[in-house]
Structure 1
């Protein structure tokens, strides 16, 4: 199989790393890729959102399968373009990708399917949104309706904080057109879990769960980020909860999307809150999470390429996914200034030493090569340092030992990834 992965971050590095081990693979490309991905795939200098050029490349190179990493190319119609050209694409059509492209659409689908979730209201005018916030009180959640690179959600502890979020999203447009509409939602209480299921349009196959750490600072303080680290499996997410989520959230959504004439194929990422009254939906994403993908790929024992093909071909009914029992953890190393304006161009050394730590794996997320060949930071989240271990504590110790082997004064990380599972 000749495979093209689309994207250039840590998630795509993890996907390429896993795909590279498939006995079905004959050639692997990644567009645009990064220096770490270049170690396992041939990088192609085409933007992840340049659908015409991606399709031209796929046709010229006789690509058998396109794997979409980020959400943007999916919402722009990458899967539709591939289907028109007769090329398999792992990922939903643009219409089905609206599950991530519009949070209001997700809520409408969830309500129609009877999926449990937060009470919500949609607003197109900031004054009305602020009035509703004052009437409801805090804590309360403010969400930009459109795509905001994982940063369009504010969990406001006070009314003033929520009103400020509305002003920034709708009036200052810090997320651009994504903030033309906002959702104001009930603040759900409990443990937040990321759960993933492979879908072939009809059948949903449970994958695994992870727990992400969104806030930038230790102890879950500071602004939200794209994710500062994750671990899998989270002890709070039992097999019984998995079965309940599949029955009450994932399968009903899949059925409702089919009823609407937009069947969902790809990976459905359900952001969940484990509340006192059961699991509830926070939001859907239509791709693997980042950094959750890194720990899922570290634990996956099955052939990833075979699984993606089964999802594309409607053949998940009898497919068996196998996972390592050993837990995995990933610690994100970010550039100074993140999640604001990151400092780019700082040199990174010591990755070879980090990779020598038993159980460790280094994933590149935002790196580049300088003209002299030195590796430098080229983004906000720059590295994902992952590791497995017999216990979560062992995985944590190995991950942080690898972090400490990295020589990068211009970077930082959280030092408490996994704290919920390891406290006490």
Structure 2
């Protein structure tokens, strides 16, 4: 029944929004269209053969997205294998099986989004001496093929099949062709952007990959619910997450789900590409209120130095264990984190402050950072105490008494301005603009 389905090009040519849309494939393309049509009012059902949609994304981020899609009436069936698509009752029906049990989804349109492969048909690559491997052009580390004078880039060579990666490969290939050096593409900091709602973006190492490889990392998160800019935009879902080496603090990866995530990932990409540390990231002044502050705050949280959320010891240092993380476990952990974050968007208990505060202690130096952060937190707690009825409460009471006292004082009589207005011949007061009529 593949002839009854449409692809990612044909779905953009639809003249009306389908009332029911079935999406076969839970990859990037499938989930982007699922998010778009769910927002437009379609009843969206996603069928994915793997245990998790967006398999390349950490499960805690996926949990946030699936929760949002569910709120729009969407459904996701994982571990589901589609058997066929048939016409049924004037529409279409997708038949599938999950764990040996059969199921069916009725739809008006069925989007087939199971991924793309390199398109090399008709190139006559063998005649040019270009070697193919299962339809993919084979290149060396400099993007040169087996044939003299022929280089290849982009989707036809496989790898990371993204437009911005192909553009980067094109620059490397042209420089090699022009003899400007032997450029070898470096993919370790290639950002991946997913235009769902909310947006998802990530770069570098993820928690799932770290656990599978047994790499120790420390993790910091900052929820957009604590971001002033996100709140003014009315988009407080999601968070920014950073992963770093626990010994050196070197940033290894960043993962964002939330408003403008695909824009925010640029700063993290620069940091990962150049081996910057969490400290270098958090010591960079970020404008306020802006969304990029979330990365700085996540870097602080990873070091146990969070200011606008509580520091959680379990999040600041995580020892990676072998074995992949299940989506269910990741979702449960994320729900617990969201509850903790929602309940603790306030400064944590600050360290003690010395009784004698000298000008030297107030200097903006690295050695004074812990002290200054603690002082800042204490000032926040004092303000909160005053707002709940401490000294501030007594001051407000005195101000209220003064207001009531002034309210009881006799007021001066208002001035009768009509007696001072120019008079006309009939004795009536004239408006300022009509004085010439009385002359």
Larger radius of gyration: 2
TM-score when normalising by structure 1: 0.25
Higher strand share: 1
TM-score when normalising by structure 2: 0.25
Compare relative contact order (CA 8 Å, sep 6+) and give the higher one, 1 or 2.
1
Higher helix share: 2
